[in-house]
């Protein structure tokens, strides 16, 4: 705590992992001697830099950007860039720390990193977004590379932003280095199914959790927080597997559609027109808008937090349980508070933590890197099949590890320990790094 003052979210993420690692140190005492936990908690490198840019009125704006290169024991640093006004070092470090274990769980050769800026993309023109991305990359380019550090998208960073970032990287370096960024457009090195991957992957993980309990998604009522990249494709796959998704949200309110969320309309509003969710209720009479409403007050059997950290509290968790919720899968990173997780675990419902349940996005980014390295491009079906196989394997690994370490069905324990062991053994083999 004293070493990283004020980094609240980072403390939270580290505490959650450390609380589960006791049995690992009993089984592998060498990790204690090697100070493996302390080493993993310290990023290999942190870069903080100024991003000056000019807005459409000609005014000069200054933002701060970060890239935390956390751990490269398993491969190049890998993790997205987040553009949101709340971004500061503590958020990027929590995300980077989570990313180490998540990436290890995928079984693919990727290390952990994360980046972002306190830039607020809301209300900015395309040109402003482009100028900001170009300025950011003018510093970032010297720190990244397809064998070094491979950024991607996150909140506020989608295909448009990755395009501007990639264009500037290519221009400065004079290299068409496709594998330096993932989440690219399909015509310039992107992977089919990457856009869908995080949301689809979360539902595959959920399906496995339900299967092991002899249940399925068919006929289940779901609510999904957020209405961005992860939320949209979680809704799509949940519906495809027979669920009824009745609500989603953004940072201003909640949409409840008694006919079920109309995916075509949602995509048109969010992906094409880039409008707010209020536009949904203007188009659809079966829907109501709850301004500043809490999505977790809508009765459901399955809850899918897909917006942001700490969006689901203990109070929300109690409300969900009381109203019949039987499963939660985290599409977002650390959306449930530690107290909220405890409520779910005490109630014995299926709870899939983000570092396992939302690993499909980064896994498919690693598949994008594979395609780039072999100058190839796979079909949607093949890529999605690989995503599904990876998610089923992550679920199995977490489940088996939870049993092996005396906490059967506790996916928080399973994910943390399985991820830690993979990274810890690799670091151990490489000496004092």
> Which residue among 114, 270, 355, 388 is the active-site one?
114
| Ligand-binding site membership of 227 (annotated) | no
> Shortest approach of ligand NDP to residue 25 CB, angstroms?
29
> Shortest approach of ligand NDP to residue 152 CB, angstroms?
7
The answer to the question of residue 156 lying near ligand NDP (CB under 6 A) is: yes
Q: Which is nearer to ligand NDP, 36 or 248 (CB)?
A: 248
| Ligand-binding site membership of 365 (annotated) | yes
Neighbours of 275 (CB within 10 A): 12
∠ CA 95-98-100, nearest 5°, is 115
The answer to the question of residue 332 lying near ligand NDP (CB under 6 A) is: yes
| Residues in binding contact with ligand NDP, number by CB under 6 A | 23
Residues near 336 by Cβ (< 8 Å), separated by ≥ 6? 305, 310, 312, 317, 328, 330, 344, 351, 353
The answer to the question of residue 115 lying near ligand NDP (CB under 6 A) is: no
Query: By CB under 6 A, which span of 31-39, 306-314, 366-374, 397-405 interacts with ligand NDP?
Result: 306-314
The interface with ligand NDP within residues 196-225 (CB under 6 A) comprises 198
The answer to the question of residue 349 lying near ligand NDP (CB under 6 A) is: no
The answer to the question of residue 106 lying near ligand NDP (CB under 6 A) is: no
Binding residue for ligand NDP, selected from 331, 340, 352, 424, defined by CB under 6 A = 331
> Shortest approach of ligand NDP to residue 165 CB, angstroms?
15
Residues near 19 by Cβ (< 8 Å), separated by ≥ 6? none
Q: Which is nearer to ligand NDP, 201 or 424 (CB)?
A: 201
- Do the Cβ atoms of 222 and 300 come closer than 8 Å? yes
Active site residue 114: yes
The answer to the question of residue 307 lying near ligand NDP (CB under 6 A) is: yes
The answer to the question of residue 361 lying near ligand NDP (CB under 6 A) is: yes
- Do the Cβ atoms of 255 and 212 come closer than 8 Å? no
Catalytic residues: 114
- Which residues form the interface with ligand NDP (CB under 6 A)? 84, 153-156, 198, 226-231, 250-252, 306-308, 331-333, 358, 361
């Amino acid at each position: 705590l004293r070493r990283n003052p004020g980094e609240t979210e980072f403390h939270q993420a580290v505490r959650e992992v450390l609380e589960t690692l006791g049995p690992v140190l009993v089984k592998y005492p060498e990790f204690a001697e090697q100070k493996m936990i302390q080493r993993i908690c310290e990023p290999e490198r942190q870069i903080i830099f100024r991003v000056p840019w000019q807005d459409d009125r000609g005014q000069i704006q200054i933002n701060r950007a970060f890239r935390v290169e956390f751990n490269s024991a398993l491969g190049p640093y890998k993790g997205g860039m987040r553009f949101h006004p709340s971004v500061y070092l503590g958020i990027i470090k929590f995300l980077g720390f989570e990313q180490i274990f998540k990436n290890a769980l995928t079984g693919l050769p990727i290390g952990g990193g994360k980046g972002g800026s306190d830039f607020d993309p809301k209300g900015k023109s395309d040109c402003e977004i482009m100028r900001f991305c170009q300025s950011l990359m003018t510093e970032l380019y010297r720190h990244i590379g397809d064998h070094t550090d491979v950024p991607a998208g996150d909140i506020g960073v989608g295909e448009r932003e990755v395009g501007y970032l990639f264009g500037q990287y290519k221009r400065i370096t004079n290299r068409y280095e496709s594998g330096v960024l993932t989440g690219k457009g399909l015509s310039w090195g992107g992977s089919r199914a990457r856009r869908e991957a995080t949301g689809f992957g979360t539902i595959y993980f959920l399906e496995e959790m339900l299967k092991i309990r002899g249940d399925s998604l068919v006929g289940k009522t779901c609510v999904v927080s957020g209405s961005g990249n992860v939320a949209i494709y979680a809704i799509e796959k949940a519906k495809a597997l027979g669920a009824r998704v009745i609500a989603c949200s953004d940072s201003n309110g909640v949409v409840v559609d008694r006919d079920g969320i109309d995916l075509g309309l949602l995509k048109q509003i969010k992906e094409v027109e880039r409008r707010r969710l209020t536009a949904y209720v203007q188009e659809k009479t079966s829907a109501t808008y709850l301004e500043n409403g809490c999505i977790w007050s809508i009765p459901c059997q399955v809850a899918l937090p897909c917006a942001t950290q700490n969006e689901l509290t203990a109070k929300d968790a109690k409300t969900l349980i009381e109203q019949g919720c039987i499963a939660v899968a985290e599409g977002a990173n650390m959306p449930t508070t530690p107290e909220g997780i405890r409520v779910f675990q005490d109630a014995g419902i299926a709870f899939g933590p983000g570092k396992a349940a939302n690993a499909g996005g980064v896994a498919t980014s690693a598949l994008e890197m594979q395609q780039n390295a072999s100058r190839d491009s796979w079909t949607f079906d093949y890529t999605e099949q690989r995503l599904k196989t990876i998610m089923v394997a992550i679920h199995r690994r977490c489940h088996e590890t939870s049993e092996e370490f005396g906490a059967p069905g506790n996916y928080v324990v399973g994910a943390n320990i399985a991820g830690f062991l993979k990274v810890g053994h690799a670091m151990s083999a490489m000496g004092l790094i």
